[in-house]
Amino acid sequence: MQVVSIDDFIHQSFDFLVIGGGTAGLAVASRLAQDGNFTVGVLEAGGTANGRDDVEIPGYLARSLGTELDWKFKTTPQARLGGRTVNWPRGKALGGSSAINFMTWMRGAREDYDAWEALGNPGWGWDKLLPYFKKSETFHPPSDSIREKEDLRYDLEAFGDSGPIHISYAKEYQPSNQLYFKALNSVGVPTNSAHFAGSNIGAWTNVNNIDPRTMTRSFATNYCALAGSNLHILTEAIVQDVVLDKIDDAYRASGVRFIYKGQEHVVSASREVILSAGSIKSPQILELSGIGNPEILARAGIDVKVDSPMVGENLQEHKAIHMVVEVDPELENRDDLFFDADRAAAARAQYDRDQTGPLARISSSYSFVPLATFMPQDTLERLYSQAKDLTGVSSEKKALMEQRLKDIDKIGQMEFIFALGAAPLAVTGKGFGTLFQILQYPFSVGSIHIQPTPSEKDDPVIDPRHYDGPHGEIDLEIMLESTRFGRKVLLAPSFNKIVRQLAYPPASLFTDDEDVKTWILDSTAVAYHPIGTCAMGGRAGIGGGVVDERLKVYGVKGLRVVDASIMPLHISAHIQATVYAIAEKGASMILEDAAKYSHR
């Protein structure tokens, strides 16, 4: 990996500077450097993550949360959540969140990306984005024996075969995997045989970004091998702002100001600055640079250079809750790795010996369920009527959000994941299983902005506005009905072989809808998929977003945003694979524009 010293970095002449060495940042920087004609610099706030057990070993997922690899963000107190703050982990290391996430690899529905294009962002629909999905990945098909045993179904043509990120099925599965699918089938959720090919409705065993040759996490640092000596990475560099030069009444990005070990430095980029700091840090850096809503900037004492009202707005996040059942205590589950020293030691010895066992696998039992499966018709009609009266979003975006309440059998409104284990409830002699329930298309929208007295070291103000106002009421109603459905799945007869009883929430809760809603509000967390804070504006332009369809920041030359923040509407999927596709497409567009400029 091309990590350099501060002296080497500040004395280098760069064509492109990338702010953020995370999922998107390393991908776009490496592709630009791979071209061979450009020198690329990357500024990363964290250190290196490669070689750490809590990063590389699949079974140790989540152990890096709350460590120095995590920004450890928190939201503002959320009124509808009883004043609770909510943890928002984000990766602070080379690889970014791809170094600390849960290694889930999937795509959204065709309709999700086509909606981006429908807003006036040509080239961002499913068909045009698919080649970039494939470009990022190398799929390793499972063995015939495991494919038949676990009934693994997929469309081989939908996968890539030569990208930097290695994806695979597990080599062994928990006994709950197939029982979970039988339970779903029994309540009207079919098995999906091509979940990667544009429709994720139904249930399936998912692939993960795990390299089957080593049984370790495959993440964004893999991209660096493409780049050669043209890529220069500086870690532990805290970006203050983008340097903007005023030329003929317009601004152009010429470099980046940053802090390294207490000293301020400025480096220049002759072609472009690319902001890939993620949905939380990218809008913060734009505002610190004088790009944003004049009211927000004035409150913070920052001179307005570009009046861009949507910077930091449009924050969307998947809401998550979980239900727990008591299961057969003889079943192996993740709690053993935390609370049973002998079993944990045996699992580690097995992994070190032949890369098998509990540490070599993660949960892969997924399903995406449309509204038609769990929502009463009269409730659907009422929610659609409420959605027609919503304010605060553009008419085009509102129409697309309303459509998601009409496409009741086409798109997965709710995700359900089942895994054995429930660490907070772990009790010696008992076993537990957890059903995670994740709302995919939130109607409530929040914001991320700088503090009133900001510095580059301050966390921004993160306010997702969970369940606030009429938008939030729609989310809460959907969560209520899906919680009822989740209970139905857990108590399905085909699950009786392992499930003993509902443990959390108690079964008595379900006698009163208001009690269930209160439990949802008390239990809601997030799925770590924030998007939208520097969104593509489409036909609405700067009044509807922050960047155009080529990811160029409105009102500034030589500055782009390439990360999850450019997504204008949320998708029905974990976002990791989509972020890589955004980076691949972004790099391709940057190289296209560079070639045009060079030939003038």
- Supply 513's token pair: 């809808």
Please tell me what DSSP assigns to residue 441: S
469 φ, ψ (degrees, to nearest 5): 60, -165
Strands 207-208 and 104-105, sheet pairing: antiparallel
586 φ, ψ (degrees, to nearest 5): -60, -45
Round to whole Å and give the CA distance between 535 and 44: 22
Please tell me what DSSP assigns to residue 212: T
Q: What is each CA distance from 380 to 205, 375, 477, in whole angstroms?
A: 29, 6, 10
Q: Residue 511: helix, strand or coil by DSSP?
A: helix
Round to whole Å and give the CA distance between 600 and 598: 6
Q: How many CA atoms lie within 13 A of 114 on its CB side?
A: 9
Comparing CA positions, the residue from 149, 98, 162, 146 lying closest to residue 356 is: 146
173 neighbors 361 (Cβ within 8 angstroms): yes
Q: Judging by beta carbons within 10 Å of its beta carbon (0-12, 13-18, 19+), is residue 189 exposed, middle or buried?
A: buried
* Residue 239 is assigned to a ligand binding site: yes
Cβ-based neighbours of 346, under 8 Å, separated by 6 or more: none
363 neighbors 422 (Cβ within 8 angstroms): no
Q: Annotated catalytic sites, by residue?
A: 529, 574
Owner of token pair 């309540």: 187
Q: Residue 513: helix, strand or coil by DSSP?
A: helix
- Supply 230's token pair: 């043209």
Q: What is each CA distance from 417 to 362, 365, 429, 476, in whole angstroms?
A: 12, 6, 24, 19
The length of the chain in residues reads: 600
Round to whole Å and give the CA distance between 552 and 274: 9
Element (H, E) at 395: helix 395-406
Q: What is each CA distance from 156 to 129, 142, 234, 363, in whole angstroms?
A: 18, 11, 39, 22
Chain Cα centroid distance, residue 140:
23
Strands 306-307 and 291-292, sheet pairing: parallel
Q: Residue 266: helix, strand or coil by DSSP?
A: strand
Q: Residue 280: helix, strand or coil by DSSP?
A: helix
Q: Which residues are annotated as a binding site for FAD?
A: 239
Q: Which residues are annotated as a binding site?
A: 239
